[in-house]
Amino acid sequence: MYKIEVPKEEIVKRIETNLMTDFVKISAEDDPTQFCIMPRKFVDQDLERVKNMEIYEDDIWVVTYPKCGTTWAMEMIWMINNNLDYETSMTVNLEDRFPFMELIGIATGFPTDTFEYCKNKPRPRYIKSHLPVFLLPDQLWTVKPKIIYVARNPKDTAVSWYHHHKHMHGYQGSKEDYIQAFVKDLMMYSPMNEHITEFWKIRNEPNILFLFFEDMKRNLDQEVKKTMIFLDKNYSQDEIDKLCKHLSFESIKDNKMVNKEVEIQKLMEASGRDPASKEFSFVRKGQVGGYKKELSAEENEMLDEYVNCSGLEKAEFEYKF
């Protein structure tokens, strides 16, 4: 079903960390153009059990390439589908309400089997994944639960993913090496273009909602209403206004149940760093176009070339900046 290879490019070893290591290329045997870079631990521990996972019609999944607004979308979706339960939202960690399925398969040092935790959650289950279409559970495409996919332009994604990899995974290499690995589709969960465009191709399926991070930034009210319709929920404009305030960047950044303070401390401890350090905030800037202040001319040019190879004709799909 799959072909597992060790990438030959030397840069792969330079972007690995003690938390995320031994990257391999997982390809579909019947279609080698479908591939994904993952730690070998995922292959050994999660690959088959994820593919064979039992799916229920009332599941709700959020799938994204990393750093595309996943956490923001999760909080929005959970709130909408749980009758705007602010009390639980402010007292129960989002990672417990909406767990990250394959985390146990990509990182070392975690005592909880996140796959089993997701599998055994009371229904309706809320599940987050960064896996591409061909690695997700087979039953997703037959049982057809609701799936919300969020896309973001690669330049902002690459910059955010770099900061995440550096501060949460313990990456100590250069930004230039990281960007080179990203555009060569050698970073974990890459290739990004295909990750997004494979979901774009199935966006019109009735159980799939395709959102853009940029649309959420520019008109959150509109995207909340779109998600409400998808989840068969109806709220007044006053309730929507209150929810949008709850979902604002400032509110999310200060909400300890959403901003991953606990997870950051655990990751820093696992990588041997001081968990009391305040060098990084998971909800960092949340900007559209923030890459302009962080990329060198050479890095920007490399990403321009990457964006221009989006995998679909521009008339059909184009990243939003």
Which residues carry out catalysis? 130
Q: Scan for tokens 């050698």, then name that residue.
A: 186
Give 19-36 as a DSSP string.
SS-SEEEEEETTEEEEEE
Q: Name which of 298, 264, 269, 270 is nearest 284 in CA terms.
A: 264
Dihedrals φ, ψ of 100, to 5°? -90, 105
Q: Please, where are the H alpha helices in the chain? A: 11-15, 40-45, 47-51, 70-81, 86-89, 94-97, 114-119, 140-143, 154-167, 175-183, 192-201, 213-218, 220-230, 237-246, 249-254, 261-270, 297-307
Q: Scan for tokens 């302009």, then name that residue.
A: 292
Which tokens sit at 230?
Answer: 């998808």
Q: What is the DSSP letter of 95?
A: H
Q: Interior CA angle at 190 toward 186 and 255, to 5°?
A: 120
Q: Interior CA angle at 226 toward 244 and 211, to 5°?
A: 90
Question: Going by DSSP bridges, is the β-strand pair 60-64/126-129 parallel, antiparallel, or unpaired?
Answer: parallel
